[in-house]
Amino acid sequence: MDTIFHALSDETRRQMLHDLADGERSVTELAAPHDMSLAAASKHIKVLEKAGLIRREIRWRTHICHLEAAPLKRAHDELAFYERFWTSRLDVLERLLAEEDAQQRKDKDNPNPSHGDDR
């Protein structure tokens, strides 16, 4: 997860992913829109590759990159956990309940042995 989110934390790399959503691209093609050396772009691509966000297919001289969506889904799923905090007004209520619950948790400094809710 660290590497996935890290890979996504750079505009250059996000742009490259976006480009790859339109189809395969060579390293040079991916690098073209960015104002940096090819070597620098190559490093970015390697970061994406190590995060599993792209797959590389070497055809003769050119390295063809493909989007690999599975890790994106994992990241997306991870964020979905927080969906209730931004979606409907119903969930605002839900959120308030959670906060109230936390308040109760805090109010009792002495643990009550007669209750265990999880697991």
Partner DNA sequence: TCATCAGTCAACAATTTGGTTAAATGAAAT
Partner DNA sequence: ATTTCATTTAACCAAATTGTTGACTGATGA
DSSP β-bridge partners for residue 55:
66
Per-residue x/- track, 40-79, a second copy (CB under 8 A): ---------------------------x-xx-xx-xx-xx
x/- mask, DNA, residues 97-116, rule CB under 7 A, reads --------------------
Piece in contact with DNA (CB under 7 A), picked from 16-24, 55-63, 83-91, 103-111: 55-63
Evaluate whether 7 touches 52 at the Cβ level (below 8 Å): no
Residue 20: name the closest of 58, 59, 69 by CA: 69
90, interface contact from a second copy, DNA, none, CB < 5-8 Å by kind:
none
Query: Closest by alpha carbon to 57, among 47, 41, 68?
Result: 68
Of 19, 42, 84, 94, which lies in the binding site for DNA, with binding defined by CB under 7 A?
A: 42
54 close to 19: Cβ distance less than 8 angstroms: no
- Residue 12 binding DNA, by CB under 7 A: yes
